[in-house]
């Protein structure tokens, strides 16, 4: 069964405009161009100038919602085989990855690992003694169970995005940068292109908005919206002792995540330490807040005592595009044929971007995605009130910032 109805194009030959040159937009552009489409990518700034450049860039499969886990699992083969599948560099480092659970999340962790293994994800449950054997530097007295992925790790978000852009260009895609899009153009009710801030209209058979928190203003004139809320999120880098090694971790007990960064740094983050603050995506504080640095250092020292007193090196903030259910909106806009959206990733878009770009390119050009089923991410679910609620979402401290 096709995943959308209405006009569809033959594979290749279609003119497609992608708005947004972050990692999702550049992955989509690469896969569209490789399939033979005439692709133009517009961005108000430069390639990888928004949240993609500020991503924590974890590469992990552990989700509580199976369709997200499937996209992440299918994206892993890109990160592991980047040179042959895309070209250039993505900076992937395999470190292993773990989710740490307290007693309140034990049964949910068991259920989620069973779900992940059914998809094919390389993951296993570990007792705390087993986990401590591979991560001896961690404090574990407040933990009950862990889930471990040996093939996961992190990548370089800027290298990844630029590699997709370079590969898209090599396949014939054009990038029009420093060109804000003011509106969508229509013809007989169908999306027929975009109009830039100078008033010039650029025609296309299909348009996809990979525009993060700027998505709803472009949808508004058509009486439709997703309900994306911008949320400022921060990450910080601390100096790590030369002899200390650790994997990437999401800590549901302490309520933060961290990973190594090179040989001598550890990156740590929380999505929403101050969720009520002003989060204007065009005007926000890009530096770390003193309170964030202090609190992140405290949680890092709690979980990894050798990092107690670790020096703060640098950090930054970015803007998450948070949907009403913290899951992405991907697919056609029913009210406007020819228009697609890939937004609302709520801080989890980087690790799924490779397979997502492949699946969405298929959906746009063929009317059905073969790489992965995108139906669960339908943009129509918000107006219908059919928000995604995974069966085994974890109890998390509010500062973590998004669901798993």
76 lies in the same domain as 187: yes
Average pLDDT over residues 148-161: 98
CA-wise closest residue to 360 among 378, 335, 384: 378
54 lies in the same domain as 188: yes
What's the rounded Cα separation, in Å, for the pair 76 and 69? 11
Answer yes or no: is pLDDT of 7 > 50: no
In this predicted structure, what is the pLDDT of residue 12? Answer: 60
What's the rounded Cα separation, in Å, for the pair 75 and 42? 24
In this predicted structure, what is the pLDDT of residue 170? Answer: 98
**Residue with token string 């990973």:** 259
In this predicted structure, what is the pLDDT of residue 279? Answer: 82
119 lies in the same domain as 264: yes
Would you say 239 and 311 are in contact if contact means Cβ atoms under 8 Å apart? Answer: yes
Residue 382 phi, psi dihedral angles, 5° rounding: -70, -45
Record the tokens describing residue 344, joined without a space. Answer: 């609302």
Record the tokens describing residue 108, joined without a space. Answer: 């949910």
**What is the tens place of the pLDDT at every residue in 303-332?**
999 999 999 999 999 999 999 999 999 999
In this predicted structure, what is the pLDDT of residue 400? Answer: 74
Lowest-pLDDT choice from 99-108, 155-164, 225-234, 351-360: 225-234
DSSP of 349-361: -GGGHHHHHHHHH
Average pLDDT over residues 280-308: 95
252 lies in the same domain as 361: no
Q: 320, 335, 359 — which closes off a domain?
A: 320
3-state secondary structure of 102: coil
Boundaries of domain holding 114: 93-154+229-320
Would you say 227 and 383 are in contact if contact means Cβ atoms under 8 Å apart? Answer: no
12 lies in the same domain as 73: yes
In this predicted structure, what is the pLDDT of residue 355? Answer: 98
Domain at 150, CATH number: 3.30.9.10
- Tally of domains within the chain: 2
Element (H, E) at 22: none
Confidence at 8, pLDDT banded by 50, 70, 90: very low
Handedness of CA 154, 156, 162, 163 (dihedral sign): negative
**Selected residue with higher pLDDT from 277 and 295:** 295
Q: 302, 320, 338 — which closes off a domain?
A: 320
Supply the mean pLDDT for the chain.
94
How many residues are listed for the chain in this entry? Answer: 404
CA-wise closest residue to 179 among 45, 71, 300: 45
Answer yes or no: is pLDDT of 274 > 70: no
In this predicted structure, what is the pLDDT of residue 9? Answer: 40
Would you say 143 and 249 are in contact if contact means Cβ atoms under 8 Å apart? Answer: no
Average pLDDT over residues 70-80: 98
DSSP 333: -
CA-wise closest residue to 67 among 395, 377, 386: 377
Cα Rg of the chain (Å, integer): 21
Give percent above pLDDT 90 in the chain. Answer: 90
Record the tokens describing residue 264, joined without a space. Answer: 């001598």
75 lies in the same domain as 213: yes
In this predicted structure, what is the pLDDT of residue 272? Answer: 66
Residue 187 phi, psi dihedral angles, 5° rounding: -145, 115
262 lies in the same domain as 129: yes
What's the rounded Cα separation, in Å, for the pair 99 and 101? 7
In this predicted structure, what is the pLDDT of residue 399? Answer: 72
**What is the tens place of the pLDDT at every residue in 363-381?**
999 999 999 999 999 999 9
Element (H, E) at 109: helix 106-119
CA-wise closest residue to 160 among 109, 93, 218, 104: 93
246 lies in the same domain as 163: no
Answer yes or no: is pLDDT of 13 > 50: yes
Lowest-pLDDT choice from 192-196, 341-345, 346-350: 346-350
221 lies in the same domain as 335: yes
222 lies in the same domain as 360: yes
Domain at 328, CATH number: 3.50.50.60
Lowest-pLDDT choice from 24-28, 258-262, 279-283, 333-337: 279-283
167 lies in the same domain as 222: yes
In this predicted structure, what is the pLDDT of residue 10? Answer: 42
Q: 320, 352, 385 — which closes off a domain?
A: 320
**Residue 368 contacts by C-beta under 8 Å, 6 or more apart in sequence?**
1, 2, 3, 362
**What is the tens place of the pLDDT at every residue in 117-126?**
999 999 999 9
237 lies in the same domain as 385: no
Residue 300 CB coordination number (10 Å):
23
């Amino acid at each position: 069964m096709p995943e959308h109805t209405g006009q569809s194009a033959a594979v290749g030959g279609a003119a497609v405009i992608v708005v947004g040159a972050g990692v999702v937009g550049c992955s989509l552009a690469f896969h569209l161009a490789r399939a033979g489409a005439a692709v133009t990518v517009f961005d108000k700034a430069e390639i990888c100038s928004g949240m993609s450049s500020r991503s924590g860039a974890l590469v992990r499969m552990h989700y509580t919602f199976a369709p997200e886990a499937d996209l992440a699992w299918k994206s892993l083969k890109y990160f592991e085989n980047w040179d042959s599948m895309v070209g250039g560099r993505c900076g992937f480092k395999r470190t292993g990855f773990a989710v740490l659970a307290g007693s309140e999340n034990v049964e949910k962790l068991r259920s989620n690992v069973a779900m992940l293994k059914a998809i094919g994800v390389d993951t296993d449950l570990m007792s705390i003694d087993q986990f401590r054997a591979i991560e001896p530097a961690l404090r574990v007295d407040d933990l009950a169970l862990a889930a471990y992925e040996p093939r996961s790790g992190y990548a370089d978000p800027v290298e990844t995005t630029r590699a997709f852009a370079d590969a898209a260009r090599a396949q014939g895609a054009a990038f029009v940068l420093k060109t804000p899009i003011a509106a969508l153009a229509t013809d007989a009710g169908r999306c027929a292109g975009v109009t830039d801030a100078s008033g010039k209209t650029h025609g296309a058979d299909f348009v996809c908005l990979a525009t993060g928190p700027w998505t709803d203003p472009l949808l508004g004139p058509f009486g439709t919206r997703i309900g994306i809320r911008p949320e400022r999120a921060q990450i910080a880098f601390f100096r790590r002792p030369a002899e200390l090694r650790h994997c990437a971790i999401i800590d549901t007990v302490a309520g933060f995540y961290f990973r190594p960064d090179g040989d001598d740094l550890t990156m740590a983050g929380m999505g929403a330490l101050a969720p009520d603050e002003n989060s204007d995506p065009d005007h926000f504080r890009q530096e770390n807040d003193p309170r964030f640095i202090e609190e992140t250092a405290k949680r890092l020292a709690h979980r990894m005592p050798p990092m107690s007193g670790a020096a703060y090196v640098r950090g930054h903030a970015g803007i998450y595009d948070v949907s009403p259910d913290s899951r992405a909106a991907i697919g056609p806009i029913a009210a406007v044929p020819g228009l697609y959206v890939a937004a609302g990733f709520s801080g989890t878009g980087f690790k799924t971007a490779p397979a997502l770009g492949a699946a969405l390119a298929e959906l746009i050009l063929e009317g059905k995605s073969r790489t992965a089923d995108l139906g669960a991410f339908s943009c129509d679910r918000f107006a219908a009130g059919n928000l995604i609620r995974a069966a085994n979402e974890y109890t998390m401290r509010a500062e973590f910032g998004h669901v798993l």
